[in-house]
Structure 1
């Protein structure tokens, strides 16, 4: 299981600032969140950014996630 911290509106929507999901990569993480926390579906569809061990990912679906990785979900970061 991977512990996932939820920032801002994501945490408010889920009613928790941290959840756990079974995942070994970013795609499995997002699918698991949608399945286990359907209240997050609209937020996930709008777009989110994921920080894994301090690096931000948006669409790198095969990015591996270790069980002890620090994972933070936040609304999508855009800009230059």
Structure 2
């Protein structure tokens, strides 16, 4: 049985991850934190990492990440545990002006 987490990438950010709509990341059976998953993606796709997180490693203001429909900011933030088989959705708000 494979232990993966699926990360859905919004169309605005897809050029930063090789135009992938989703990334499948191998995790331990217990899963990984949101921060650990972002670290893995950011190591392979540094521009994506910088677009999603600020200099302190926190989520940027206009980026939301949902775990099964729940905003991780309302859960345990970047420490939110993501079990194998779950899906994370990254949403980048477009700031109007």
Q: TM-score range by the shorter chain?
A: 0.7 to 0.9
Shift of 1:76: 5.2
**Quick one: structure 1 residues 53 and 18, their matched pair in 2 at CA, closer, same or farther if it must change by over 3 Å?**
same
- Paired positions, count: 78
Aligned counterpart in structure 1 of residue 25 of structure 2, from 2, 21, 35: 21
1:56 aligned partner: 71
**Quick one: structure 1 residues 57 and 26, their matched pair in 2 at CA, closer, same or farther if it must change by over 3 Å?**
same
Shift of 1:42: 2.8
2:53 aligned partner: 45
Distance 1:22 1:37 in 2: 16
Structure 1 gap segments, 5+ residues each: none
**Quick one: structure 1 residues 69 and 10, their matched pair in 2 at CA, closer, same or farther if it must change by over 3 Å?**
same
TM-score (normalised: structure 1): 0.76
Question: C-alpha root-mean-square deviation of aligned residues, in Å?
Answer: 2.4
Structure 2 gap segments, 5+ residues each: 55-59
TM-score (normalised: structure 2): 0.65
2:57 aligned partner: none
